Homo-oligomer: A and B are copies of this chain.
Amino acid sequence: MREVFQQELQEVQERLVEIATLVEISIENATRAFNESNVSLAEAVIADDDKIDGAAVALDELAINILARQQPVARDLRIVVSALRISASLERMGDMAEHIAQLARYRFPDKVVPRSLRSTFADLGKYDVQIAKKLTELLRTEDMRLAEEIRNDDDQIDALHLSVFDKVLGETWKGAAVDTVDATLASRYHERFADHAVSIAKKVQYLATGDWVSAGL
């Protein structure tokens, strides 16, 4: 029984890594579509979100199935419950990538943000992609240094997010209202993407240390 359970936990972990990999591809494509105004890439991201949603639902069914059959307790139970939560966060990360792609599609053939914000959004995209890659690795290897790195990368994202508002609200901002709306939403989506990654990283970290309650496990 115990051995079967360990195999099933491994299956859960592999599925989480698969979903994280899909999210990683989505955010890479979404931020590229956004920054390069690539409408076909944007549409691919939007279409692929169904795959992420489907994979998350399938994982949830597996996790509930394990709870029903294996009746885990203590740490094992926390692992399965945390998998349900991590899958919900990954699903939301996919949604954020989709939202970024939708902005790229709406504004095509124009770029979403005016010239003065392009390097900031290039950096936001770069950090989101980096965070997504580290998250996949963290879920695969449980190397806790990656959890720390994700938190640090998120600090960079937060600073960039604030700098978008500084620019948009600054005296030199010449954007029309549509530019202001798009920059506001786009920046929020990039920031929320990273927030979900941090929340997953905390869950992985606390699963390792046993401090479940602080991690909402």
Contact = CB atoms under 8 A, between A and B. Distances in A.
Interface of A is mostly: helix
A160 to B, nearest CB: 16
A177 B177 CA distance: 7
Contact of A177 (B175, B213, B216): B175
A93 B125 CA distance: 27
12 contacts: A60-B216, A61-B213, A64-B77, A64-B81, A67-B81, A68-B74, A88-B88, A169-B177, A177-B180, A180-B181, A180-B184, A185-B188
A57 B188 contact: no
A71 interface: yes
Nearest to A170: B177
Contacts of A57: 213, 216
Contacts of A165: 181
